[in-house]
Chain A
């Protein structure tokens, strides 16, 4: 049973698109059961996986981070993590990556969200972390699925301002050696999938999928830019996180592209009508790190008291800057490889992450940054010192929350609220007062 909390964990969502995608997601998961029961292949993958290939082959898939977010939002994390402990594992580490494996141990999987997850027939491993790759293997075995492991190569090209090159100069951005390598890996994956499923990757379908991706992410780009330019913001992250991510997991489909346009239209309409998500908006906050799925209400906690609004998370911005690939028609697999190889680097490798966060903070007129650093993730290493230093150096005060983004049991609401309130009161408001006094003196 989901755990009850003494504080509100459910956020208030206002957009129609958010409701639509939520409804679609539920129906999609329900239909997944019948598809799998009728013998269709079903893949379980990581967030950076080359989903465009699966989409073009019409192989349904669930993303590990997607499933974690759902289980976490349904307050079912503790139940699954306890299953890990019963099987002899630790239940206090790797929470973000182990949810799928934990679920595979459940003797009553039908009690999981929306009837649980059907057993995948394919697992595509792409974790770089020492724990993550083991978890992928264990889960694959528990589900008795076929396993394809994508190899990795380290980044060796470090160009500044990656977002200026990712759409049109992706070959230069990634570098030939690395791109050759990942293109080959994806070609091996395609062979594997064709052999295992009996389905063929249709080139035309892949091109169509990539065009859909570009269309979808193009709308996200416009939405991100619109939110950045509109003060007070017409929409907060509680709406954008859900509407973007649920459609992102269906990336490459016409439906997802349409939902991205819906979102833009809705935000555009609010902006045009001058509707503010938080009418007393005084402070604009940027959230770095994984979404707080089990407590999305936290993002709204500071609105009434301080007029402090979370306007930015990586989810919309990454969609806007990280996925579009133009000029791919000569070699669509290479274009997918360029996206696959670079996505994790954007978030975890300096200076790609720090430069991007600073750019986004500037463009979104951010007053302060809340940075969630997971303490129980052995793969956590984004050079947070460099991120904090870069943001502070650019004039953006940062507060670091050390917490588990997936396991509600470990969240201490009062401490986390206090940290953010300190940021707001001690740094942001004081800075604003100083600026105001300077303005008056001048």
Chain B
């Protein structure tokens, strides 16, 4: 399925889509008038604190096309997504925009990138590379020691942002930033509610475009556009495709979602940052601001890369059921395949719910067998439909 006319006719959608497709331009606009940008790599960078410091959080995007630096510097263990991010950090086109970078402990690969950057700055001092810092949350457990650690880590990050911004961050600053981020996330949740269930009015690729585009706009403006789009989308036609929950390698472009749509599948939810995992919970305004931020990143939906199989076997099928998914697509780039250790256990739970699973492994960038993938998506859609008829 190509992009739908109903979406393309929407001014709000076109605006968000433009920011998503022209991230470079959108980011430059965000950073106009000398605003300091703090770039983020990883799902668990507390953007509320960056905003509270008067700086602009910018989500790093992966460079598409050739990735010569990644091919030179990185081991094969770095999957396609990570190679794209590294290429962005090192290639001249984007690196000149990036002065400050925050990486979070969302994956061990990100931690390696942090170490690599520090060393690369030493051995190639002539290269423009950002000053990196690292947010070291512990996400695998939710016990007391993890809570305490993450709270202290949040405070440490706040102190770092005060240093970068050269100003103090008050509770009021942080509360206002939390409010702004919650407004953005709240708008996105309204959008997501139009994806779930049998009457899904937003396709996965549209949602990914909207969420991704909103990252490169002023949050207030983004929230306004999304709310307007939600109003319009009430009238959009329902999608008839097989409803899927997506997990696996991060998709930061709609390419795979579009291919799934062409094959008769529609992603109604995912556990990824360019989708539902970004806005799955608010930062609780009733708590002290620092504690609220810490909790928001600690208690959100468990991402596979920092979770035990037991957590994922419990949370993912439940979430799939809540969103009305009929199938799960686990799509893994080569060497970005830790998800496979979740699978057999998850599958037992999914079988109980009658939710089928499609596992795609060993994918490369760029996709080297699109026709083959399309056939597999089509076959999976047919399989799920047959199950529907049978039921």
- Residues of chain A touching chain B, judged by Cβ–Cβ distance below 8 Å, are 87-90, 93-94, 128-131, 133-135, 137-138, 141, 149, 151, 153-156, 158, 188, 349-351, 354, 373, 375, 377-386, 389-390, 402
Contact = CB atoms under 8 A, between A and B. Distances in A.
B338 A350 contact: no
A88 B344 contact: yes
A90 B361 contact: yes
16 contacts: A87-B344, A88-B343, A94-B341, A130-B107, A130-B108, A131-B337, A154-B136, A158-B118, A350-B115, A351-B119, A378-B77, A378-B109, A378-B337, A381-B75, A383-B119, A389-B123
Contacts of A384: 75
Contacts of A385: 72-74
Interface residues of B, number: 47
B17 to A, nearest CB: 32
B136 A381 contact: no
Nearest to B120: A386
Contacts of B310: 137, 141
Nearest to A156: B134
Nearest to B156: A177
Given A88-B343, A383-B112, 16 more contacts: A88-B347, A89-B344, A129-B108, A130-B305, A130-B306, A133-B308, A134-B309, A154-B105, A154-B111, A154-B134, A350-B116, A375-B76, A379-B108, A381-B108, A381-B109, A402-B76
Given A134-B308, A153-B136, A351-B122, A379 B341 contact: no
Which 4 pairs show the lowest CB-CB distances between chains A and B? A130-B338, A88-B344, A134-B341, A350-B119
B141 interface: yes
A131 B119 contact: no
A373 B75 contact: yes
Contact of B112 (A141, A188, A381): A381
Interface in B285-317: 304-306, 308-310
Secondary structure class of chain B's binding surface, majority of residues: helix
B138 interface: yes
B149 interface: yes
A355 to B, nearest CB: 10
A89 B306 contact: no
Given A89-B341, A149-B141, A380 B115 contact: no
Nearest to A131: B338
A377 to B, nearest CB: 6
B341 to A, nearest CB: 4
B335 interface: yes
Contact of B77 (A90, A153, A155, A380): A380
B206 interface: no
A93 B333 CA distance: 13
Given A89-B340, A378-B335, A383 B115 contact: yes
A303 B361 CA distance: 41
A93 B335 CA distance: 9
Contacts of A131: 337-338, 340-341
Nearest to A141: B310
Nearest to B105: A154
A88 B351 CA distance: 14
B342 interface: yes
Chain A contact residues, majority secondary structure:
loop
Contacts of A351: 119, 122
A133 B140 contact: yes
Given A88-B347, A381-B78, A389-B123, A134 B115 contact: no
Contacts of A373: 75-76
B146 interface: yes
Interface centre among B75, B112, B116, B138 (most CB of A within 10 A): B75
Nearest to B122: A351
Interface in B177-224: none
A137 B341 CA distance: 10
B153 to A, nearest CB: 9
Given A89-B341, A156-B134, A350-B115, A151 B146 contact: yes
Contacts of B347: 88
Nearest to A390: B123
Contacts of A128: 108, 111
B340 to A, nearest CB: 5
A380 B78 CA distance: 9
A123 to B, nearest CB: 12
Contacts of A389: 123
B152 to A, nearest CB: 10
B151 interface: no
Given A381-B78, A385-B72, A188 B341 contact: no
A378 B73 contact: no
A382 to B, nearest CB: 8
A389 B120 CA distance: 11
A410 to B, nearest CB: 14
B246 interface: no
Contacts of B140: 133, 149
A158 B114 CA distance: 13
A151 B341 contact: no
Nearest to B335: A378
Nearest to B135: A154
Contacts of B343: 88-89
Given A128-B108, A379-B108, A137 B75 contact: no
A356 B341 CA distance: 34
B338 A134 contact: yes
B111 A137 contact: no
B271 interface: no
A89 B309 CA distance: 13
Contacts of B352: none
Nearest to B153: A153
A286 B149 CA distance: 41
Given A378-B335, A386-B119, A151 B134 contact: no
